[in-house]
């Protein structure tokens, strides 16, 4: 298939870059296989040690646990970089297909490829740590608060609720002021990381990141461009309506009738999702909305009960109940005796059956959806645990997020009625207000898509040199205006470094995975709904109780990363092409409504 051919082309390029000197013996298949066995044993043991250290750090924060976790992470980084460099030597070998894939994955797992010399590796590690720490410690200290400083969490809460343009602008400027000091470090980081990527046979770091998707880097860019183009009509309609409503609220001086929306007015620091302006754009303000918070509290649902609902969803699909160790070892509530990281996450601590959740669960609708999402990760991890160590991951990095979100899409009024949280008549009433629900989801998922693409699009230009350091900020805002229809709220210059105000940039976290997951989840949802025999609007479908859908889901999850992702996609959906059609179908009622609302308006920017 096409992905296999593309992967072969990638390997050919790497082989050429790493070809041994003339006359040097070609490594044998047996030598390469022995190297891979040893590499899997070594890296697997280090991965497990890192997970255990990180679990303790996240659930018992002290200087000691942070130091232990840092040491475990350092050991993984050292081994990953060393094994990736050694793997290049075996690229010319005539390998079995599974070993060929393992060899390639070994090279591609290094997100921050270190340079070949120890001093430069140490410099890159120091820069990476310094940038992440500087971002994490960032604060805004406005004079009006007389010495009190605001964290990003504080700022985000205020931006979510404020409807005062001056306050929103002050908060936006305050947080973005943390980034300029990172600019010099980021420039050097790019130079050193690119040196490491070239040592692995890639043109630059962006070339390496795009090579993870079983296709040539240029093909991946073309795929992303195609997906965004498919969504453009829906995104433009949403953008047009939101802009008009913001103009009604803030006036013509603040919001233009045509052109991009000023970034600070969308309720989110990066305008990456617009859910916090929902109250200004609600399609049916008088319609009764689902208050899951009230329902859960009325039933006195505790944290364990919340997880039991989610477990019951997967069991209804024919999957096995969670192991006893999950209940013994998970952190479901905030402890009273220590500091912890409450951000929800799913863990497979031993890369086998020891799956856990770390979350401070509250009886809210948001956490109800989140725990369904997180158990999606756990069930995926549990399903591929029998694969070789290098294949114990999702088909690509977007699949894991997409699977969790797919399950969350099935948390519908109909599902809530089936598990007793709503009466059937209430579920029917909620479905009549579906435009409100679709608008909320669109403000989260559709609004995100251009931003989800442009973060890495900007980095690809930086890593390749097409965007020089003298044009970092200009290129950022050009992409934001062109792709997102969002503008800088005040004039910016190269004295600023606005990309650095987004966590994933100074922390070296690839972002394309979130973009891909946004499309994959709807493709998964549509296929599973069809398997479950659902009839009617896609946004009303829940696969709860469908053993047939569960069997398809399980078969795909068990594949792990053993095959190119189009094969995993085909196993679940019957399609091997990522496409926006399912997302467009899901939001069609809202799209039609938006088009009607926008009659007479000039859309686009």
Indicate if 339 belongs to the active site: no
DSSP labels, 118-168: HHHHHHHHHHHHHHHHHHHT--B--GGGTT--B-HHHHHHHHHH---HHHH
Residues 252, 244: contact at Cβ < 8 Å?
A: no
Indicate if 400 belongs to the active site: no
Indicate if 278 belongs to the active site: no
Indicate if 373 belongs to the active site: yes
How many other C-beta atoms can be found within 10 angstroms of the C-beta atom of residue 8?
11
* 179: Cβ contacts below 8 Å, ≥ 6 apart: 496, 497, 498, 499, 500, 501, 506
Distance CA 187, CA 173 (A): 22
Residue 185 structure tokens? 């470090």
Residue 256 structure tokens? 């233009």
Largest CA distance in the chain: 79
Closest by Cα among 358, 353, 329, 327 to 61:
358
Indicate if 78 belongs to the active site: no
**Which listed residue (170, 401, 434, 488) is catalytic?**
401
**Which listed residue (140, 241, 372, 377) is catalytic?**
377
Residues 554, 383: contact at Cβ < 8 Å?
A: yes
**Which listed residue (343, 425, 495, 535) is catalytic?**
343
Indicate if 189 belongs to the active site: no
Q: What is the dihedral of CA 383, 387, 391, 392, to 10 degrees?
A: 40
**Which listed residue (51, 362, 374, 488) is catalytic?**
374
Indicate if 343 belongs to the active site: yes
CA angle 566, 571, 576 (to 5 degrees): 30
In three-state form (DSSP H/G/I as H, E/B as E, the rest C), the secondary structure along 80-113 is HHHHHHHHHHCCCCCCCHHHHHHHHHHHHCCCCC
**Which listed residue (514, 525, 580, 582) is catalytic?**
514
Indicate if 504 belongs to the active site: yes
Residue 480 structure tokens? 């934001």
Closest by Cα among 94, 81, 84, 83 to 33:
94
Residues 501, 179: contact at Cβ < 8 Å?
A: yes
Distance CA 467, CA 475 (A): 7
Mind telling me the catalytic residues? 343-344, 373-374, 377, 401, 504, 514
């Amino acid at each position: 298939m096409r992905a296999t051919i593309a992967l072969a082309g990638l390997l050919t390029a790497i082989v050429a870059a790493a070809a041994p000197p003339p006359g040097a013996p070609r490594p044998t298949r047996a030598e390469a296989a022995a190297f891979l066995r040893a590499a899997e044993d070594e890296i697997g043991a280090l991965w497990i040690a890192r997970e255990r250290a990180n679990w303790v750090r996240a659930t018992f924060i002290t200087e000691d646990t942070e130091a232990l976790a840092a040491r475990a992470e350092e050991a993984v980084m050292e081994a990953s970089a060393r094994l990736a460099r050694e793997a290049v030597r075996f690229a010319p070998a005539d390998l079995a297909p599974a070993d060929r894939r393992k060899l390639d994955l070994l090279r591609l797992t290094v997100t921050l490829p270190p340079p070949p010399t120890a001093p430069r590796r140490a410099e890159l590690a120091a820069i990476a740590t310094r940038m992440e720490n500087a971002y994490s410690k960032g604060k805004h200290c406005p004079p009006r608060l007389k010495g009190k400083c605001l964290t990003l969490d504080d700022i985000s809460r205020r931006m979510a609720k404020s409807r005062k343009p001056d306050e929103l602008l002050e908060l936006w400027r305050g947080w973005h002021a943390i980034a300029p000091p990172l600019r010099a470090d980021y420039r050097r980081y790019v130079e050193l990381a690119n040196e490491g990527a070239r040592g692995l046979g890639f043109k630059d770091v962006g070339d390496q990141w795009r090579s993870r998707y079983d296709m040539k880097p240029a093909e991946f860019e073309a795929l992303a461009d195609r997906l965004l183009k498919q969504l453009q009509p829906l995104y433009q309609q949403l953008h047009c309506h939101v802009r008009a409503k913001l103009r009604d609220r803030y006036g013509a001086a603040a919001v233009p009738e045509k052109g991009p929306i000023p970034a600070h007015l969308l309720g989110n620091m990066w305008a990456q999702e617009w859910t916090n302006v929902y109250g200004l754009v609600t399609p049916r303000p008088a319609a009764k909305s689902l208050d899951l918070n009230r329902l859960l509290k009325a039933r006195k649902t505790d944290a364990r009960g919340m997880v039991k609902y989610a477990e019951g969803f997967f069991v209804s699909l024919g999957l096995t109940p969670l192991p006893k160790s999950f209940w013994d070892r998970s952190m479901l509530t905030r402890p009273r005796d220590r500091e912890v990281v409450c951000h929800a996450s799913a863990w497979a601590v031993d890369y086998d059956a020891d799956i856990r959740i770390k979350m401070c669960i509250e009886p809210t609708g948001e956490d109800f959806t989140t725990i369904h999402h997180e158990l999606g990760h756990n069930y995926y991890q549990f399903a591929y645990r029998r694969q070789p160590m290098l294949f114990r991951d999702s088909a690509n990095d977007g699949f894991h997020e997409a699977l969790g979100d797919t399950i969350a899409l099935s948390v519908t009024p109909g599902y809530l009625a089936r598990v007793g949280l709503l009466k059937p008549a209430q579920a029917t009433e909620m479905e009549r207000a579906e435009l409100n629900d679709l608008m909320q989801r669109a403000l989260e998922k559709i609004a995100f898509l251009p931003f989800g693409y442009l973060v890495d699009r900007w980095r690809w230009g930086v890593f390749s040199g097409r965007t020089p350091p003298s044009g970092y900020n200009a290129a950022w805002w050009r992409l934001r205006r062109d792709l997102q229809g969002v503008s800088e709220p005040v004039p910016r210059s190269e004295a600023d470094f606005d990309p650095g105000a987004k966590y994933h940039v100074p922390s070296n976290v690839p972002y394309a995975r979130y973009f891909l997951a946004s499309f994959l989840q709807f493709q998964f949802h549509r296929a599973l709904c069809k398997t479950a025999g659902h009839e009617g609007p896609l946004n009303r479908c829940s696969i709860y109780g469908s053993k047939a859908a569960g069997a398809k889901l399980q078969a795909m999850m068990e594949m792990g990363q053993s095959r190119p992702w189009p094969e995993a996609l085909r196993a679940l959906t019957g399609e091997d092409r990522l496409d926006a059609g399912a997302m467009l179908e899901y939001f069609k009622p809202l799209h039609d409504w938006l088009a009607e609302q926008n009659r007479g308006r000039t859309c686009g920017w």
